[in-house]
């Protein structure tokens, strides 16, 4: 039986639900199984370190994170950024918020769309009503209705981007340009009561994808992330609680572990999803042939994306998902073959994310 990420007590969605319940008295998803992990506060700050899975805490530069880690949580499936960020922005699992893959089949435009960049597989921009992507009310709108001000602290060049318009409808957007700016903005904003501040730190994920886990660049990125955490923790005003987590972990793959799917035998299949969990539509025999060729495992996507699936998610889900073998990534045409690290699957290194308390 395929491991299923938690949505009922130890998942990222449950951390969001815990904080929402603390601030409003209600939540759309189950709270943490152990609520004592989260301190009481008037204002909450969550810092999300993109790519900082539990496995990344083994890095020598991650010592401060190890000391702050109080529990392990599980990222939603697929273990990828836009899905986890949508989970935070809604307090819902993917089955209900509808962001069910990095590369998502959108029936209303009849295209597979990169839902971080909002481009097609050929790189063409996809025009969309971005603020309508996530269900209403989202987390930010529910917080506002309860008298809590939601604020997101993000890299300044994300302002007005399609993905920001998707994710942060109803939240105040505070752009920053370096780590010192990020620390200052986060801590100053936390000085007011009844605020929920969500701060995003991208460095670890970027360095892992581009340079690999053993690179000097990855070490430097980890040091930057640690400096952000330590800086916020040191300057956080009274009455505010600091939490940290991630959207997924990282796995590194060599060129010989990348399975390029180029055989014309499979050209009639539609491919979407992620390199570690490929969404497939087409003839059953062809899908079975591909699974046999790659050594992957075929699963029903409804088993993995969470409970009570909404019609929107169902319309985007494939007939089957092909989970890549442990030490492989699957790369149909249009999937990025240039990276060093990948994620999106169900290995512990991809699913397990830390809960940090400052």
Tens of pLDDT, residues 307-320: 999 999 999 999 99
Res 32: pLDDT: 98
User: 141 near 120, Cβ under 8 Å?
Assistant: no
Q: Is the pLDDT of residue 2 over 90?
A: no
* pTM exceeds cut of 0.85: yes
Using the predicted structure, report yes or no on whether residue 119 has a pLDDT greater than 90: yes
CA-nearest of 27, 28, 32, 36 to 12 is: 32
pLDDT for the residue 235: 98
Determine the Cα–Cα distance for residues 189 and 152; give it in Å rounded to an integer: 10
Judge if the upstream peptide bond of residue 140 is cis by omega within 30 degrees of 0. Answer: no
Look at the domain 12-95+130-250+346-357 and name its fold.
Alkaline Phosphatase, subunit A (3.40.720)
The whole-number pLDDT of residue 4 equals 85
Between CA 279 and CA 328 the distance in angstroms is 16
Q: Is 291 exposed, middle or buried (0-12, 13-18, 19+ CB in 10 A)?
A: middle
- pLDDT at residue 3 is higher than 90: no
What are the extents of the domains in the chain? 12-95+130-250+346-357
């Amino acid at each position: 039986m395929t491991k299923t990420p938690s949505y009922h007590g130890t998942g990222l969605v449950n951390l969001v639900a815990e904080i929402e319940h603390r601030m409003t008295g209600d939540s759309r998803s189950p709270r943490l199984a152990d609520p004592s992990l989260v301190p009481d506060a008037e204002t909450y700050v969550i810092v999300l370190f993109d790519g900082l899975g539990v496995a990344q805490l083994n890095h020598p530069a991650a010592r401060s994170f190890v000391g702050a880690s109080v529990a392990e949580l599980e990222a939603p499936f697929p273990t990828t950024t836009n899905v986890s960020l949508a989970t935070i922005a809604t307090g819902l699992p993917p089955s209900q918020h509808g962001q069910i893959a990095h590369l998502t089949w959108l029936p209303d435009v009849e295209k597979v769309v990169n839902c971080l960049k909002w481009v097609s597989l050929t790189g063409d921009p996809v025009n969309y009503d971005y603020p309508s992507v996530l269900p209403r009310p989202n987390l930010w709108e529910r917080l506002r209705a309860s008298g809590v001000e939601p604020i997101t602290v993000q890299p300044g060049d994300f302002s007005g981007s399609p993905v920001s318009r998707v994710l942060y409808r109803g939240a105040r957007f505070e752009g920053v340009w370096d780590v010192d700016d990020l620390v200052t903005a986060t801590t100053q904003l936390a000085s007011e009561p009844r605020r929920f501040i969500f701060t995003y730190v991208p460095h670890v994920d970027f360095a892992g994808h581009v340079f690999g886990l053993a690179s000097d660049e990855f070490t430097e990125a980890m040091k930057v992330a640690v400096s952000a955490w330590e800086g916020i923790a040191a300057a956080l005003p009274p009455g505010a609680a600091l939490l940290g987590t991630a959207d997924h972990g990282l796995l590194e793959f060599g060129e010989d572990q990348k399975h390029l799917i180029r055989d014309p035998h499979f050209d009639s299949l539609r491919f979407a999803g992620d390199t570690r969990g490929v969404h497939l539509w087409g003839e059953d025999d062809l899908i079975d042939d591909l699974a046999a060729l790659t050594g992957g495992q075929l699963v029903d996507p409804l088993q993995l994306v969470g409970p009570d699936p909404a019609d929107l998610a169902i319309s985007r889900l494939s007939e089957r998902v092909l989970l890549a073998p442990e030490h492989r990534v699957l790369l149909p045409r249009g999937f990025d073959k240039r990276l060093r690290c990948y994620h999106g699957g169900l290995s512990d290194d991809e699913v397990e994310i830390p809960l940090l308390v400052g």
